[in-house]
């Protein structure tokens, strides 16, 4: 899927076929489990800041697909909810420090 978005120097094209997929949601068969989901992508382009975006997809032909840009913080939270970490910016260790104190760890009783 492609989408043009306005940017400081003109337009940037987000393209799920060529951009870096950081997270791909499980996919099932039509009519079964995993018929819709959200993937996280990264658009890197020389001279521009990194652009993170979420691709909301569905196998249901009646539902629209959507590309939505998100901030670095939102991208990190998206991955953390799935038990993953974004290592692109090691200087931003806030979530690692909080996690070392037990914050965000699911506990079962």
Closest Cα partner for 72 from 104, 43, 103, 106?
A: 43
Residue 109 in any domain: the answer is no
pLDDT tier at 108, thresholds 50, 70, 90? very low
pLDDT at position 109: 41
- CA dihedral angle for residue 74, residue 86, residue 13, residue 30, rounded to 10 degrees: -80
Q: Is residue 85 part of a domain?
A: yes
Token digits of residue 82: 């799935």
Q: In which domain, by residue range, is 28 found?
A: 2-100
Residue with the larger pLDDT of the pair 10 and 75: 75
Q: How many domains does the chain have?
A: 1
At residue 91, does pLDDT exceed 60? Answer: no
Q: What is the DSSP letter of 100?
A: H
| Per-residue confidence (pLDDT) for residue 97, from 0 to 100 | 62
Mean pLDDT of the 66-80 span: 89
């Amino acid at each position: 899927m492609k989408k043009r978005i306005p940017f400081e120097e003109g337009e940037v094209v987000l393209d799920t076929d060529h951009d870096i997929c950081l997270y791909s949601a499980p996919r099932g068969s039509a009519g079964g489990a995993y018929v819709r989901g959200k993937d996280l992508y990264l658009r890197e382009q020389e001279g521009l800041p990194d652009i993170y975006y979420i691709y909301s997809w569905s196998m249901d032909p009646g539902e629209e697909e959507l590309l939505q840009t998100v901030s670095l913080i939102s991208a990190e939270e998206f991955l953390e909810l799935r038990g993953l970490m974004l290592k692109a910016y090691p200087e931003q260790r806030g979530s690692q420090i909080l996690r070392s104190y037990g914050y965000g760890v699911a506990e079962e009783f």
